[in-house]
Structure formats: structure tokens, C-alpha cells
Structure 1
Amino acid sequence: MSTVKVRSVGLAELKLFGRNRSAMFSALAVPLIIAAAVSTSGITSDGGASAAALVVTALLGYVLLAAVYYNLVTAYVSRREELVLKRLRAGELSDAAILVGIAAPMVAVATAQMVVFAGAGAILLGLPAPVNVPLLLLGVIGGVVVFVLLAAASAVVTRTTESAQVTTLPVLLGCLIGSMLHPVLDDAPAVVSAALRALPLSPVVDLMRLGWLGTTGEGTPAGFTAVLGDALLPAAILAAWIVALLVAVRRGFRWEPRR
């Protein structure tokens, strides 16, 4: 995959994104507004820094859903319906370069939002230093990969940009509700807990929380090395999602509009 070619596609997408004032506002201003609201709401006052880290990692998961997944589904569908994907594919770009190039601006926006949330959390909420930085980064990078691939897979069943509001809803609601609930549902049946843990956002949030706190909120915090054992299951679930979605996108992604 040529870095220069991916950059050229990404820059073109970034220019289109920059012309969308509402998208720019949501990308740059909304994280600051949410961070300020959380810091003044008292929601983390009882649990201190640990509770603040749980809230911030939940917000990082939200960024992956909103800035990467949803925005990218609409971008892929829009470029397909406008025959942009077909024209790009007729050139020298590989399929992977096209998909990655279109995703690059969304990933850049998500990264900026995560930095804002993390920085605001450290300044306003007094977040503790991460227990295991590599594990935290694994959760972030793995989450970006999963939701870029999931966006490409969702674009297959999305006919128009307007219908993306419907086709993305199961993933958005499932992840927002299920992935945030599973660490606190101690009395839930084993089948329910396993299903919630297997959602695409669950292992991402688990890895970020293990990397930051040494716990997902369910048990006693562990140290740099000890936390690696707890990270095996979410890492395996994340890897399984990536492999499954790679196969699905390779076999089923549509490059031309459905007539």
C-alpha cells in the first residue's frame, strides 16, 4: 500500500470534511463541552480518580462510535453512490488504499477528540497515571481498526446516506448500552454477560480500562505485569472481530451503487 497514495485520498477527504461546519463543530467543540459538563456534574465525586477514569474511557469508546463508525459509514456510502469509489478503483490505488485513505480523516478527528478527552480528564478530573500504557494503546488502536472495518461492512447494507441512520442504529445502541453495562451487571446470567462481553466495543473499553486503571471496574486493580492476564480475553475477542470483519469486507464490500 503506497503511503503517498493513501495520503492523497485522505487529504481530499479532509478538505470535504473541513467544508462541513457542523461536522467541524462536533469534532472540535463537543469534546470540550462534554468534558466540562462531566467535570462540573459531580458524577465522579464519589469514586474519585478511578471513577473519572471509567467515565473518560467510556467517552473514548463513544468517540469510536460517533467519529469513526457512523461518520465513516456515511462517507463510504456517499462515495460509492457518487461513483467516486468506482473511479478510484479504476486507477492505480489498491482496494485497501482507497478504504484507508477515506478513513484517515475520521481517524485523525477521533484521535484529536481522544487527546482532548484524556487531557481534559487529567486536568479537570485528576486522572491517575496509566498502569500499562501499551495495553491502553492496544485498546485504542484495536478499536480504531475494528470500527473502520465495521463501517465498511455496514456500508454494504446501507443504500443511501440517509438510511445510515437506520442501519447503524443496532451497532450504536448495542455498543452504547451493552458494552457500558457489562462490567456492572454482576448478577446477570452467564449467557447475557458473555453476549455483552462479545460486543465489538466491549473488549476495546476493557483494554483501555485495564491499561489505565489495572481493572475494568469489576475487581482489584493490578500492576503493569499482572494486568496482562486479565487482558487476554478482551484481546482475543478484539482479534476475532478484526479477522471476521476483514473476511466480510474483502468478500462483500460493494464498490458500485446498487441499481
Structure 2
Amino acid sequence: MSTAPAPARAREAAGASAAPAHFAALSRTELALFLRSKSNLFNVLVIPALIVMGTTTIMKQFDLEGAGLAMGQVMISTSAGIVLVMALYAPLIGIYVLRREEHVLKRLRTGEVSDVVILAAPAVPMALAALVQFALIAGAVAAISGLGLPAAPHLVVLGILLGTVLTAAVAALSTAAARTAESAQGISTIGFLLLLLTSGTLVPLETLPGIFGDVLRFFPLTPVIELVRSGWTGRGAGPTDTLVSVATLLAWTVLCAEAARRRFRWEPRT
């Protein structure tokens, strides 16, 4: 039996019922702020696409054919990792820290808005930009390389959507190490390098010695890359491989979300 006072339980119930409205209102506000900033639009919409184009030079250094891979397949899965990290993870850390330094998060918590809604709303503009950008890049690469449509599109969608939630959770957790808005840039740089280098985004796992590739398959962002590639090629799209990838993604998401809940700072550090 709950021991919370009746007024407290009533406020909690009212907050839960109003969560969709709160989320919609905050998301619209965040989207308007995002669209007003030309630097945000450039950093989120242009830079990731340029980096994806630049990674073709990196991929040519690996024996993709010997690993049973084609350039088009690799570039589509690579674009998923780059877009999620560059268009969502890195800018979202800066947004969270900036909102914290400006006491915006603290003020929102004094009302009925839940913590989940407060943290989810700022991610909406970057998440939408990442999803649209991946769709455009993947479509262009598939058309140019002759890959055609994905063999298992549901795996591509599943990987991108679950990867979006995971990336937002990792961004929220990463802010615990950022004391100021200036230091957030350094934290995001370290974070996105680790995510890209350990997920097969920049270095295909198939080109690594067996033990390294096997271990890295259980790192946070790797299942996203594998689900997207499996969805497009049809290889490794069986129930067992899919279940392992999804379970790994969900486990990391829950772990990061719980760690963020415990360590996220809502007020500026003194």
C-alpha cells in the first residue's frame, strides 16, 4: 500500500495524465529554438553528411571484399552511426548543459512536468534531423551503389529507433562529467570518438582479429550498425542474431538511463 499523502498522489496522477501535452508543448518549443539557429542547422544537417562522405577514403584502406562486404553496405551502416553520434549525441550534450546552466531544467522541475519529459523534449529536434538525414543518405548510397531497397526494412527501422533512444540516454549520462557549457564540447568529443571507434562505424568489425570483433559486438552502438546492415543486406537477419542485437541495445539503454537518472545534475555546479 502506498504511504504517499492523497494530495501528493493526486499531483502525480495529474502529472502523468498531462505528460503527452507537456511533451508536445516542450518539443514544439525546442524545435522552434532549433530552427532559429543557423549554426545548429549546419552542425546537425551538413557536418554529418560531409563526414560520411569523407569516411569512404577510410573504408578503402580495409579489405572489405575479403571480409565479404561491399562499399555500399558498409557506408549505409556507417552513416547510421555517424548521424546518431554527430547529429544527436554531441549537440544534445551541449543543449542539456546549457539548459542546466541557465536554470531552465530546475524551473521546469518545480512544476508538473516529469523528469523524463524534460529530458526527452530537447532531443526531439536532433532526433528528427538524424532520422531524416539517415534516410536521405542511405537512399542516396543505395541508389548510387545499386543496392536497391533493404531486404529487411523492419530491422533498419528497429535499429535506428532503438539507437536514437540509446544515444539520447548516453548523452544525458555524459553531462554528469561536464561542469560547464564549455567543457561539454570536450566531453562530447571524447564520447563520440569512443562510440564511433568501438561500434564498427569507422572500422568494420569483420576486418578486425576475431577476439576484438567478438568483444566489440557487445558495445553500446554496435547493435545499431549490425541491425542496419543486416536489414539492408539480409545477412544475419535471423531471429537469433536479431534477438541478441536487440537485447544488447535494450540492456545498454536501461543501464545508461538508470545511471543518468542517478547522476544527472539539474542545477549548475558551484
Tell me if TM exceeds 0.5: yes
Q: Partners of 2:170 and 2:97 in 1: how far apart? A: 13
User: Which of 10, 17, 20 is equivalent to 1:3?
Assistant: 20
Identify if the C-alpha distance between structure 1 residues 186 and 123 changes in structure 2 by more than 3 Å, giving closer, same or farther: closer
Residue ranges of structure 2 left out of the alignment (5+ in a row): 1-15
The correspondence for 2:170, drawn from 147, 150, 157, is 150
Mean Cα displacement is larger for which, 108-117 or 171-180? 171-180
Q: Does 2:206 correspond to 1:184?
A: yes
For 1:54, the equivalent position in structure 2 comes to 74
Contact persistence 2:227–2:242 (CA under 8 A): yes
In the alignment, structure 1 residue 92 sits paired with structure 2 residue 121: no
Q: Tell me the equivalent position of 1:217.
A: none
Query: How far has the Cα of 1:170 moved from its partner?
Result: 3.3
Q: Residues 15-36 of structure 1: CA distance to partner in whole angstroms, max 9, x if unpaired?
A: 2222221221233344665677
Unaligned runs of 5+ in 1: 215-220
Rounded Cα–Cα distance in structure 2 between residues aligned with 1:42 and 1:80 = 39
C-alpha spacing 1:16/1:42, structure 2 compared with 1 (3 Å): same
Secondary structure, counterpart of 1:163 in structure 2: helix
Secondary structure (helix, strand or coil) at the match of 2:43 reads helix
Conserved 8 A contact 2:48-2:86: no
Query: Tell me, what secondary structure is at the counterpart of 1:13?
Result: helix
Contact 2:23 2:117 in 1 (8 A): yes
Task: Kindly provide the amino acid, as one letter, of the partner of residue 239 in structure 2.
Answer: L
Is the contact between residue 50 and residue 128 of structure 1 (CA under 8 Å) also seen in structure 2? no
Question: What RMSD, in angstroms, separates the aligned Cα atoms of the two structures?
Answer: 2.8
Is 1:121 the equivalent of 2:141?
A: yes
Looking at structure 1, the residues matched to 97 and 217 of structure 2 have their Cα atoms a distance apart, in angstroms, of 29
* TM-score normalised to structure 2 length: 0.81
Shift of 1:42: 11
Distance in structure 2 (CA, Å) of the matches to 1:258 and 1:49: 48
**Partner letter of residue 252 of structure 2?**
W
Secondary structure, aligned partner of 1:254 = coil
Shift of 1:184: 2.2
Number of equivalences: 247
Q: Post-superposition shift, 1:198?
A: 2.3
1:21-36 alignment runs, 5 A limit: 21-30=38-47
The answer to which of 168-177 and 144-153 deviates more is 168-177
How high is the TM-score relative to the length of structure 1?
0.84
Q: CA deviation at 1:239?
A: 1.4
* Structure possessing the higher radius of gyration over alpha carbons: 2
Does structure 1 retain, via aligned residues, the 8 Å contact 2:90–2:189?
A: no
1:207 correspondence with 2:227: yes
User: What is the deviation of 1:129?
Assistant: 2.0
| C-alpha distance in structure 2 between counterparts of 1:164 and 1:246, whole Å | 19
| CA offset digits 1:209-255 (Å, max 9, x no partner) | 111112xxxxxx36xxx622222222221111011112112222111
How far, CA to CA, are the matches of 2:57 and 2:41 in structure 1?
25
Aligned partners of 1:152, 1:105: CA distance in 2, in Å? 15
Q: 2:248 aligned with 1:248, yes or no?
A: no
Q: Distance in 1 between matches of 2:267 and 2:29?
A: 20
Counterpart selection for 1:13 from 11, 30, 35: 30
Question: By how many angstroms is 1:175 displaced?
Answer: 2.0
Matched, 1:112 2:165: no
